[in-house]
Structure 1
């Protein structure tokens, strides 16, 4: 695969737009950031993106309390943690290259290649606390490695079986929907196909199973766009998203591609090992899929390896997903003008969405393209507090994570109908700085690193952020009760036996050497036309076949 300089430049610009506007340090907790010389000093760097800093402030306070009588250094008792949490200098390649002189001991970051960390010797070896030592001190009879999905342990353990970092967060993009608005306006779909407020007898939804979380939601593309049309008749705008950060909508669309393909077919794009069963041999007309949600001229099942991985650009799911976006963008009544406004950032789009149902002079908006972190990001940027004057809070408002509808009834009625979610790894990492010379400080840093990966702390991360860490853990009901409706739904997705999560990492030569080729937008629809389908379709008369021809040329 070839690098594309323009894509990298645009990605850097996108990262800047995605960043929250405010940054702070732990001076809010420790005015003046004063140092208590009687305690071991532990410094932590945190990228303050969508997952914020509250979870880390809370964890630091709990660690300080737990070890207040512990001596990590001769003549000192207890630990004092100082957190640098910002959005300007805590992520990316520049941050990475500065690590040898960075005073922070523990790093939580993103847009940093793990293999670049390895190549630069920027991280300490943590194999002992990840792979060898059980978390018995914390009441657990497992190692941190035991909590990892196999695809993650295969990647992070390196070929030598050693760990130098772990994935920081589990993130993916999709469609947020306002459950309250569905209740108020009667947008649920009944078993008989009527729109209703009565949720006692709803349709089976896109999983085609009654009595599940998606009952009453549109099951196929046709049902979805019929609902959008109905919303406009009821004075509701179906969609909004950040026009200044169009990649958010693109990343969401990647999940429709993944859902169409299913876990095994979709993961081929990263593993380059297996059999592809949905490759389009040729495309005619405008490239719209046929009535069965596929294409007439398909290739036979094909064995994939690194030598022919470019064939995966023919996966039907890529183009079925484009059909969805083209249908959406072709009707201007289905989205706000701000969806294509360069001034609409991710934060302002969240505000637009949250306020739309509360402010009587505005048209309510049903759906938002964003990341799973959106609610926490909006909360830490003050949106929920700002709008509390309307009598609603993050805890009282009810939002859901809309499952993408199936292309047609053929996919809907498939006996293997499952939901597939593709994580957007963003090269998120946590690791211990490799420049620590003092063994006592290293010991303290490793203890905190273990602490942060205990079930109790993983649970607290989820309670605060409404999202998950990419590890196996459950959350007790008493802690779930503190989560918002949206957070509970994200938690339930992980536990759903019919939902597959794909972690987009692979220890292949191309992934290791060119991680930028595996960002969602670059792996999906990157051509000379750009890589954001919504923008491409909005700009002119581009067809699905045009994009297919460019990708497969």
Structure 2
């Protein structure tokens, strides 16, 4: 028994050493740089792999007298390490949603890395040249120098079970297709009757692409959910334990229905938006009499009138979708069961239809979830291990959501799907290493290495996600080893439009990590109604037995003009 335990300990020690590409015993002979990485979502394995390649590439380089090579010492954590950055022993930080670069730079907490971003000596050109000019100021301090790099981007949204869609032919038929399955409720829907049927052209307006047959309007989406319910399929699942997850669905539909230009106007405070100016008696979705069509008008948004963002028609439609999901029963009981974690929901989705499990069409989560499902739950491996699945590949895809309420996309009249970044993640270098020439040089070399074209592709190959803000296309050889899910996620992002929730104006900068940051815990999703506190709209619909309405919730959570001017607006 002792020998067995000794062997296990030896294996564990070997594994921990391999994880960072070297062993702690090598530290004394090398220049050491320390890295702390927020490991939620994408984990740390991508960084371990990159560090191993960097250390190998620089094995013969001397950064300081008496030492050869470099050792990258990595910590993966979900703790906020930036609070004590000035006295921290960590040199490089990868973080999400805690701070913005400018605030940290103004506190004199960061190392100037301008030379890292502007160095154009490599064949890739400078990192700066691959970042859109509009976003560069967000990586700088008030002195105009660079203090940060963008990290990972991920979006909230909907994943769909393509295996299930194929099984039931849950695809909208092309207008000329005659062999169809008709569904009459919610305004009606024509679905292909068999796999040979011609699907509609999808959001891109082009036949023969991955989005063929998927809904392009809110009406089609609701009708599709109705057809699923007819088949005893549960349209939606999300975690019932973490009550802020339904907010991801609200954010995703808001962005898709508003479109890229309007969503960017919400941060730049410069552009036209569509807001609500009353309500009609006509139903928004045929047959659903508790959601009315709004009367809308278009206005030009400024920083001073930023409160109008919360009166947008797209926000109303997104919230109405949640009311419909609740009142029409388009959800799994897991959504309201407090013991079902996010990884449990992921597992239930992956095992949809297996061993008498309920069939589920859509999972609400961030686009990083597929990694999480395997790393924390082994769900994909467990599914593959079932005898009936050993020769199969689970086919789950990322989905572009509808672009309008009731105007289907026609051939050659497509639009780019709109997604929104919720990562708000960056990489910075600790300012307390100033004067430590060897460590500074090694850290800067490591950053240049990580943001090279090759390593950006390695990052996407390892995580299935992209680096934020940096313009690069994931190469086919990097995509080839990815799951169908991550291939679809990358193709959707590269073929669509991605809204970053940042802009270079004082009002946006002040509120970029609070009111304007649409994500899990945005203030507009935290409210009190009838004496009870809520952190999402769906629970309000549920716990009031449907007496809460979209109009009421938006009235409660709108930002008033007075509140905007006194708390959020910054005059220029």
How do 1:318-333 residues align onto structure 2 when only pairs under 5 Å count? 318-332=315-329
Counterparts of 1:534 and 1:285 in 2: how far apart (Å)?
A: 24
Give the structure-2-normalised TM-score.
Answer: 0.83
Q: Report the counterpart of residue 119 of structure 2 in structure 1.
A: 133
Q: Report the counterpart of residue 153 of structure 2 in structure 1.
A: 170
Q: Quick one: which of 36, 55, 59 aligns to 2:50?
A: 59
8 Å contact kept, 1:294–1:316: no
Q: Report the counterpart of residue 362 of structure 2 in structure 1.
A: 367
Q: Quick one: which of 307, 312, 330 aligns to 2:309?
A: 312
Point out the structure with max Rg over C-alpha. Answer: 2
Q: Quick one: which of 105, 108, 117 aligns to 1:118?
A: 105
Q: CA 1:232–1:312 in 2, change beyond 3 Å: closer, same or farther?
A: closer
Counterparts of 1:310 and 1:526 in 2: how far apart (Å)?
A: 17
Match of 2:528, SS state, is coil
Q: CA 1:237–1:195 in 2, change beyond 3 Å: closer, same or farther?
A: farther
1:403 and 2:400 correspond: yes
Q: Quick one: which of 379, 385, 402 aligns to 2:381?
A: 385
Q: Report the counterpart of residue 211 of structure 2 in structure 1.
A: 214
Counterparts of 1:199 and 1:457 in 2: how far apart (Å)?
A: 42
For each residue in 1:477-527, what CA deviation from the matched residue of structure 2 results, as whole angstroms up to 9, or x when unmatched?
A: 22221111111112212332xx22111112222333333122215365554
How far did 1:406 drift? 4.2
1:340 and 2:344 correspond: no
Gaps of 5+ in 1: 1-23
Name the stretch that deviates more: 169-178 or 208-217. Answer: 208-217
8 Å contact kept, 2:240–2:336: yes
Counterparts of 1:395 and 1:80 in 2: how far apart (Å)?
A: 41
For each residue in 1:417-469, what CA deviation from the matched residue of structure 2 results, as whole angstroms up to 9, or x when unmatched?
A: 442111113x3111111111411101000000110001111111111111111
For each residue in 1:139-161, what CA deviation from the matched residue of structure 2 results, as whole angstroms up to 9, or x when unmatched?
A: 32x11112213342132234533
Counterparts of 1:360 and 1:290 in 2: how far apart (Å)?
A: 36
Match of 1:162, SS state, is coil
Q: CA 1:415–1:476 in 2, change beyond 3 Å: closer, same or farther?
A: closer
For each residue in 1:533-553, what CA deviation from the matched residue of structure 2 results, as whole angstroms up to 9, or x when unmatched?
A: 222222221112112322165
Q: Report the counterpart of residue 459 of structure 2 in structure 1.
A: 461
How far did 1:188 drift? 2.4
Q: Quick one: which of 345, 350, 357 aligns to 1:354?
A: 350
1:549 and 2:564 correspond: no
8 Å contact kept, 2:192–2:198: no
For each residue in 1:95-150, what CA deviation from the matched residue of structure 2 results, as whole angstroms up to 9, or x when unmatched?
A: 222112221211111122113322322221111111x21151xx32x111122133
Q: Report the counterpart of residue 109 of structure 1 in structure 2.
A: 95
Match of 1:202, SS state, is coil
1:100 and 2:99 correspond: no
Q: CA 1:338–1:44 in 2, change beyond 3 Å: closer, same or farther?
A: same
Q: Quick one: which of 518, 533, 541 aligns to 2:537?
A: 533
8 Å contact kept, 2:319–2:537: yes
Counterparts of 1:545 and 1:444 in 2: how far apart (Å)?
A: 56
Q: Report the counterpart of residue 44 of structure 1 in structure 2.
A: 35
Match of 2:262, SS state, is helix
Counterparts of 2:87 and 2:112 in 1: how far apart (Å)?
A: 18
Q: What's the RMSD between the two structures over aligned residues?
A: 2.8
Q: Report the counterpart of residue 273 of structure 1 in structure 2.
A: 270
Name the stretch that deviates more: 343-352 or 186-195. Answer: 186-195
1:263 and 2:260 correspond: yes
How far did 1:209 drift? 3.5
8 Å contact kept, 2:92–2:430: yes
Q: CA 1:483–1:296 in 2, change beyond 3 Å: closer, same or farther?
A: closer
Counterparts of 1:402 and 1:294 in 2: how far apart (Å)?
A: 27
Counterparts of 1:547 and 1:374 in 2: how far apart (Å)?
A: 29
Counterparts of 2:262 and 2:392 in 1: how far apart (Å)?
A: 38
- Report which of the two has the higher share of strand: 2
Counterparts of 1:53 and 1:511 in 2: how far apart (Å)?
A: 31
Q: Quick one: which of 251, 254, 277 aligns to 2:251?
A: 254
Give the structure-1-normalised TM-score.
Answer: 0.86
8 Å contact kept, 1:171–1:371: yes
1:429 and 2:465 correspond: no
How do 1:500-511 residues align onto structure 2 when only pairs under 5 Å count? 500-511=497-508
Gaps of 5+ in 2: 1-13, 178-189, 561-572
For each residue in 1:392-417, what CA deviation from the matched residue of structure 2 results, as whole angstroms up to 9, or x when unmatched?
A: 58992221112213443336469574
Name the stretch that deviates more: 365-374 or 115-124. Answer: 115-124
Counterparts of 2:246 and 2:213 in 1: how far apart (Å)?
A: 24
Counterparts of 2:17 and 2:107 in 1: how far apart (Å)?
A: 32
Counterparts of 2:408 and 2:232 in 1: how far apart (Å)?
A: 32
Name the stretch that deviates more: 371-380 or 233-242. Answer: 233-242
